[in-house]
Chains A and B, each alone.
Chain A
Amino acid sequence: MMDVFAIGENAIEAALVRREGFALLRGGAELPVRLEPADDGAFMLHAGGRTVRLFLARCGAETFIHMDGETFAVGWEDALTRLARAASGGHADVAIAPMPGTVISVGVEPGQAVARGAALMVIESMKLQTTISAGRDGVVQAVHFAADQTFDRGAVLVTLEAEGA
């Protein structure tokens, strides 16, 4: 099962598999890979015969990488979430927690009509407040967490009624 990695506008399918160590599968090719921390907070990435020095930091589903003097952001969605999303009929049906956190306030209740972009919930993660907004026009079916409740990354926070329902 392939995970999906987003770099810029590109969505790239790839998977990490176990071999002697680990290998990355992408486009039918398999590349032995190993990441080891260097002493100054950098990492050495061994990929095939290459070794690249890079800096890396993660925030939610996004990984920021400094490599070759450039900075990149890589988004990741695991295969199960992707399947679940496809099965549930579209991304916009659910608002998913981008990172673990606490609900600060809930702005909607079941049955309420919302417009795309409307604020559904305010969450706080790593002392940063984020507004969770509706991905499309619709009607709120369920609010899964109340104020002060905590949740993990990837948790479904709010569900909208399926389109045409």
Chain B
Amino acid sequence: MGGNGATEANHAAITEAGMKPGTGAPFAAVLIANRGEIALRIARTVRAQGTRVIAVHHREDAAAPFVRFADEAVEITGPSPVAAYLDIGQIVAAARATGAEAVHPGYGFLAENADFAKAVEAAGMACIGPQPDVISLMGDKVRARAFVAERGFPVLPSAIEDDDPATFVERARAVGAPLLIKPAAGGGGKGMRIVRDLGTLETEIERGRSEGQRYFGDGRLYAERYVERPRHIEVQVLGDGQGGVVHFFERECSIQRRFQKLIEETPSPALDAAGRRAICEAAAGIARAVDYRNAGTIEFIYGQDGGFYFLEMNTRLQVEHPVTEMITGYDLVAEQLRVAAGAPLGYGQDAIPSHGHAIEFRLCAEDAARDFAPAIGDILLLRMPEGEGVRVDSGVAQGGAVSPAFDPMLAKIIVHGRDRTEAIERGVRALKETVLLGVTTNASFLRRIIEQPGFRAGETHTGFIAEHLDALIPPPPTPEQETLLIAATALAEPQIVAAAETVPDLHAAMGGWRNR
């Protein structure tokens, strides 16, 4: 595949910066229990340490770049391709059979599955992740939130009806307006009501209850402070499980569609130095409270007034970790492997710099003009951007197919600049240079997002895409563009060219005469 030279160079530089001298490779062989871009990205670090790379893959991925990169690949099967990657028994068996000393679950699939972590450890291997009981605690959103609140970290003021149904209205009123009422059994925004005037609280609670009953067969409610035009800001942490915890600064991930992130950046344009320190130290404090081992991410909701509230903790490597690597120079996968092998961090907060600005774009096979419907097809031509300050973490290659079996994310394009303006300029150029023919992607949609004056001004919030949607959808080609497209199509189609060449001169002349 073209365009990977810069990526490899970037990875090499990052790995060198991330590995502390004299540590050597933590494991002799690592099995990667994942697929796509993240499997390849993890494999590169594992390979750079001189460690054997073992891949597992479903038949559908047999020709994928991560499988071809691996030193050894084991086919796993399942009733569906996704089911194969969720099959703990097969993956642990593959790890044992290939002599793996550690298993890296990546993100998604088995990454936050305590049973998987236990099974890997019971088989005598290291699972690259936190202690299984920490996975369980943070995986239970209600327990995690209570744990964090008890230790004095900010959570959104809320009232859970189940705690004491008799006093629910009173407790909801005490949370204060604006207030979001949602069905306890809910999801996807159904039955959610925003209360701005507490005088209507009781009526709204009754309506919310009947909607919850109708949608979910469960009328129990939950009320929390509503944050208007919130930002999503999260903090990268790393712990060794031996008392050592540091943070690698924040990432802002407010640009989302369907509650999924599309663009992430660091630093957040919302934070000044004091605000940055406050949110990062809160995150490190939460990680310290569980004596966290592994790389992890603490997600916060950030209000227009500068208040921030704990949302959840992800106990794994995050999709958007590369922006953090770009500004700190650390290889987070190398750090994960080190602490999983039992090494102490060996450095403190002062060792982690923040240089410049980085932005990540998630290149997805989807049609923004059709409500982000997933797109499929063959990748006929692929040219990834390269050059200074550009990194590409890709899971696809020219000649490959995009099937509906998996997540539509194909690759991540990460840019770095001395400041946010330079990073945005590099992002615009990189997205223009991203050529993927045969499958509809969101490349130009992503570019138009960062071209919006609101984005350039740093006025991002989770409703940004919905608010600017009309300006982001690809416009139809202009008549001039149409003519160029038709000319290129005609000249590239041998049948059209042959037909034009065989038209006798007289007819050719007549055609010209007729049309003059």
* Residues of chain A having any CB pair with chain B under 8 Å: 3, 5, 7-8, 10, 12, 14-19, 22-26, 28-31, 33-35, 41, 43, 45, 47, 50, 52, 54-59, 63-72, 74, 76, 78, 126, 128
Q: Is the interface of B mostly helix, strand, loop or mixed?
A: helix
Q: A8-B476, A64-B438 are in contact. Are A55 and B484 (CB under 8 A)?
A: no
Cβ-defined partner of B378 (8 Å) among A10, A65, A72, A128? A128
Q: Which of B162-197 contact A (CB under 8 A)?
A: none
Give Cα A122–Cα B440 distance, bound, in whole angstroms: 24
Give A3's nearest chain B residue, CB to CB.
B496
Give Cα A89–Cα B447 distance, bound, in whole angstroms: 45
Distance between A41 CB and nearest chain B CB, rounded to angstroms? 7
Residues of A within 8 A of B501 (CB): 18
Determine whether the beta carbon of A59 is less than 8 Å from that of B487.
Answer: no
Residues of A within 8 A of B397 (CB): none
List the 9 closest pairs (A to B, CB-CB), nearest first.
Answer: A69-B432, A57-B380, A64-B437, A35-B491, A57-B437, A16-B490, A57-B381, A33-B487, A63-B489
Interface CB pairs A-B, < 8 A, 7: A8-B476, A10-B476, A17-B512, A35-B487, A57-B438, A72-B477, A78-B499
Whether B353 is near chain A, meaning CB under 8 Å from some CB there, is: no
Determine whether the beta carbon of A59 is less than 8 Å from that of B482.
Answer: no
Give Cα A7–Cα B484 distance, bound, in whole angstroms: 12
Determine whether the beta carbon of B444 is less than 8 Å from that of A70.
Answer: yes
Give B398's nearest chain A residue, CB to CB.
A57
Q: A16-B500, A58-B493 are in contact. Are A66 and B487 (CB under 8 A)?
A: no
Q: B432-446 toward A: CB 8 Å interface, digit per residue (1/0)?
A: 100111101101100
Give Cα A28–Cα B516 distance, bound, in whole angstroms: 7
Determine whether the beta carbon of A41 is less than 8 Å from that of B383.
Answer: yes
Q: A5-B486, A28-B515, A47-B483 are in contact. Are A63 and B492 (CB under 8 A)?
A: yes
Q: Which of B498-516 contact A (CB under 8 A)?
A: 499-501, 503, 508, 511-512, 515-516
Whether B481 is near chain A, meaning CB under 8 Å from some CB there, is: yes
Determine whether the beta carbon of B499 is less than 8 Å from that of A24.
Answer: no
Determine whether the beta carbon of B378 is less than 8 Å from that of A59.
Answer: yes
Total contacts A-B at CB 8 Å = 154
Residues of B within 8 A of A41 (CB): 2, 381, 383
Determine whether the beta carbon of B489 is less than 8 Å from that of A66.
Answer: no
Q: Is the interface of A mostly helix, strand, loop or mixed?
A: strand
Whether B274 is near chain A, meaning CB under 8 Å from some CB there, is: no
Residues of A within 8 A of B437 (CB): 55-57, 64-66, 71
Distance between B383 CB and nearest chain A CB, rounded to angstroms? 7
Distance between A53 CB and nearest chain B CB, rounded to angstroms? 11
Distance between A100 CB and nearest chain B CB, rounded to angstroms? 12
Determine whether the beta carbon of A24 is less than 8 Å from that of B483.
Answer: yes
Q: B20-32 toward A: CB 8 Å interface, digit per residue (1/0)?
A: 0000000000000
Whether B474 is near chain A, meaning CB under 8 Å from some CB there, is: yes
Give Cα A6–Cα B314 distance, bound, in whole angstroms: 46
Cβ-defined partner of B488 (8 Å) among A3, A8, A56? A56
Residues of B within 8 A of A45 (CB): 484, 487-488, 491
Cβ-defined partner of B431 (8 Å) among A33, A43, A58, A69? A69
User: Most chain-A CB neighbours within 10 Å: which of B380, B437, B497?
Assistant: B437
Give Cα A76–Cα B484 distance, bound, in whole angstroms: 14
Whether B401 is near chain A, meaning CB under 8 Å from some CB there, is: yes
Whether B495 is near chain A, meaning CB under 8 Å from some CB there, is: yes
User: Most chain-B CB neighbours within 10 Å: which of A29, A45, A47, A65?
Assistant: A65
Determine whether the beta carbon of A16 is less than 8 Å from that of B497.
Answer: yes
Determine whether the beta carbon of A64 is less than 8 Å from that of B481.
Answer: no
Residues of B within 8 A of A55 (CB): 381, 383, 435, 437
Whether B485 is near chain A, meaning CB under 8 Å from some CB there, is: yes
Residues of A within 8 A of B431 (CB): 69
Give Cα A10–Cα B508 distance, bound, in whole angstroms: 27
